[in-house]
Amino acid sequence: MWILGILLYGILFQKKPRNKAITISFLMLLLLTNPYLVNRFAQVWDIKTGDLEKNKVYSCAIILGGFSSGDDSGNGYFNGSADRFIQGLKLKNNRTVTNLLVVGGNSQIIPGLFNESIWVKQQLMQFNIPENNILIETRSRNTLENALFAKEKLRNKNLNPPYLLITSAFHMRRSMYSFQKQGLEVIPYTSNYIAGKSSLSIDEFIPQASVMGQWGTYLKEVIGFGIYYVKG
């Protein structure tokens, strides 16, 4: 979108637009489709899973929503961040945690019939997770509210910290900041790496269109973290 904007601006508003606009657009295209650059940025930005105590059973893993979506009829389905669900399920099944807390309701501007936490609870029960070990928070619409309402739920259930916090690698920095600001002791349990995990190879220098989407995801996170930080 940025590249198209620069190209159109040059063509429409510059006296001698074509060469300059095309050159700038081409250079931006090369940069924004370069896997090497986004992978190096991800390695700095992403937060890895924290150290877990051997044989310790944690009271709760908090799974941040955003890994499932709903259609107009309220039917749910998993999206590209479904690894959050998988990691939570693994932690419960291998007895690393006693309870799972799924946070998130419906973040749409015009909420429909779908409520993520309610739907996810139904999916967990299909994997034979006991209902009394599944906690849900259905009101939050963003990461700040995730932390605020999770704190309320955990205290009402008298669950002792530290808690494992499960979210995507690109989202963990903003999530950790939000939960710690609420006074919650959380350990990052990272899932869904979209960049930065592969070792250096020749493929990293071959332009890939998908990299532009990854930059869009990270830009959103950087801006979101900046806003949260400024607001405190």
DSSP sequence for 159-210? PPSPEEEEEEHHHHHHHHHHHHHTT--EEEEEE---SS-SPP-GGGGS--TH
Residue 153 exposed, middle or buried by CB count within 10 Å (0-12, 13-18, 19+) = middle
CA 225 to chain centre: 12
Q: Report the chain (232 residues): mean pLDDT per 10 consecutive residues.
A: 52 58 68 88 95 96 95 90 97 97 81 88 97 96 95 95 98 97 97 86 82 93 94 80
User: Could you tell me the fold of the domain covering 33-232?
Assistant: Rossmann fold (3.40.50)
The helix (H) or strand (E) run that includes residue 220 is: helix 210-231
Q: Domain limits of the chain? A: 33-232
Q: What is the per-residue pLDDT for 198?
A: 75
Strand partners, 163: 186
Q: What is the token pair recorded at 175?
A: 């999530």
Judged on CB neighbours under 10 Å (0-12, 13-18, 19+), 139 is middle
Closest to 67 measured CA to CA, from 56, 55, 57, 76: 76
DSSP state of 16: S
pLDDT value, residue 203:
80
pLDDT at 59: 98
Q: Round to whole Å and give the CA distance between 26 and 18.
A: 12
pLDDT of amino acid 22: 63
Instruction: State pTM to two decimals.
Output: 0.87
Q: What would the two tokens of residue 66 be?
A: 């955003």
